[in-house]
Amino acid sequence: MIPNQWYVVMESKQVKGRPVGVTRLGEKLVFWRDDTGRVGCLPDKCAHRGAQMSKGQVLPHGRLQCPFHGFEYDPSGAVTRIPANGKNTPVPERFRVHSYPTHEAHGLIWVWWGDDPPADLQPPRFFDNIGDDLLYASVVDPWNAHYSRVIENQLDVVHLPFVHHNTIGRGHRTLVDGPVVQWDGDDKFYVYVFNRVDDGTPPRKPDEIPNPERGFRLEFIMPNLWQNCISDTTRIVAAFVPVDAEHTLLYLRFYQRFFTVPLLGQLVTRLAAPSNLIIAHQDRRVVQTQQPKPSALKGGEQLIQGDRPIIEYRRRRQELLDAAR
């Protein structure tokens, strides 16, 4: 995983009144809401005797209480009360754990995964073309694969007619013109896709494609958000949530505004969302076989022109890893 990044880790609806223990980014974490509704995130381990904090409770004043000896924590990771020492006894500074900054928006929860967040830490980006007028429904799918491989699968325009020959890859468009990759800042890029039936002509290079913006478009925001812009009224958004080095949770959302009648519109959205799993499972069957588990800029694979989006992702990922070191 790339340190010092905002990662989507779960949906807002997963954190309610009780503490929630999950494994994310290779670490056991606990999430809860304080008395203002803000999400806190700490390691799921008490500084005192190592008990799981997620087995505890959220107190009325928003502190997280350990189930073993009642130690109370605030979102900064500081122990604010040790019951055995008395309520008026100051808590030594050493009683604290690392805390992870959180951000909540668009029904998603991000954590800043790093050691020392900057004082001017900015909120994470989201897709600026998704507004409140788009209804959505979501599904969560577990993959036995490193999150980088799952990301690359959604940037891979070459596999469509083979893995998805009877779904989204119908038409036997095996030849790949481009694809064109355009960066928007240093953490987001667009992929314009131009697949066609092989007529014997060589694939066009990216700079040979006029007005690439008119093509089918994918969007990716580092480190783990992706969007398929199917049309102005229909989108697929995915968050590739790292569990550990060999497991990923794929959070898939189906957005639409072609049917917005109250209640019925939400019903249509919910009924359509599971269909994305059919396509995702066609991918999962193959991606889970890839070796080695994580991808790398210099991993010994023999890449082709059509792999340009994957190369761009690997290049930027490596730059961020180097910068974090």
Please report the pLDDT score of residue 28 as a whole number.
98
Q: Do residues 160 and 265 share a domain?
A: yes
Task: Examine the pLDDT at 213 and tell me if it is beyond 90.
Answer: no
- Per the domain annotation, does 228 fall within a domain? yes
Q: What is the mean pLDDT of residues 260-275?
A: 87
* Rg of the chain taking only CA atoms, in angstroms: 22
Does residue 145 fall inside a structural domain?
yes
- How many independent structural domains does the chain possess? 2
Q: Are residues 155 and 274 in the same domain?
A: yes
Same domain, 202 and 272: yes
10 Å CB burial of residue 8 (0-12, 13-18, 19+) is: buried
Residues 155 and 25 in one domain: no
Residue 120 placed within a domain: no
Instruction: Dump pLDDT digits (tens) for 14-31.
Output: 999 899 999 999 999 999
Are 141 and 109 in the same domain? no
Q: Are residues 148 and 231 in the same domain?
A: yes
pLDDT at 32: 98
Residue 261 has pLDDT above 90, yes or no: no
Check which CATH number belongs to the domain holding 68 and give it.
2.102.10.10
On the question of pLDDT at 215 being above 80, the answer is: no
Q: Would 186 be classed as within a structural domain?
A: yes
Domain range holding 59?
Answer: 5-113
Provide the percentage of residues in the chain whose pLDDT is more than 90: 86
For residue 127, tell me if it sits in a domain. no
Position 214 pLDDT exceeds 90? no
One domain for residues 145 and 286: yes
- pLDDT score recorded for residue 216: 80
pLDDT at 115 over 90: no
Residues 203 and 94 in one domain: no
Answer whether residue 161 is part of any domain: yes
Residue 265 has pLDDT above 90, yes or no: no
Write down the pLDDT at residue 83. 96
Q: Based on the domain organization, do 170 and 314 belong to the same domain? A: yes
Residue 209: per-residue pLDDT:
93
Q: Are residues 152 and 100 in the same domain?
A: no
The answer to whether position 240 is within a domain reads yes
- With respect to residue 227, please indicate whether it lies within any of the assigned structural domains: yes
Averaged pLDDT for residues 197-208: 96
- What is the per-residue pLDDT for 26? 96
pTM: 0.94
Shared domain for 286 and 149, answered yes or no, is yes
Q: What is the CATH number of the domain that holds 202?
A: 3.90.380.10
Please state the separation of Cα 242 from the chain's center in Å: 8
- Condensed to tens digits (0 to 9), the pLDDT of residues 120-165 reads 999 999 999 998 899 999 999 999 999 999 999 999 999 999 999 9
Residues in the chain: 325
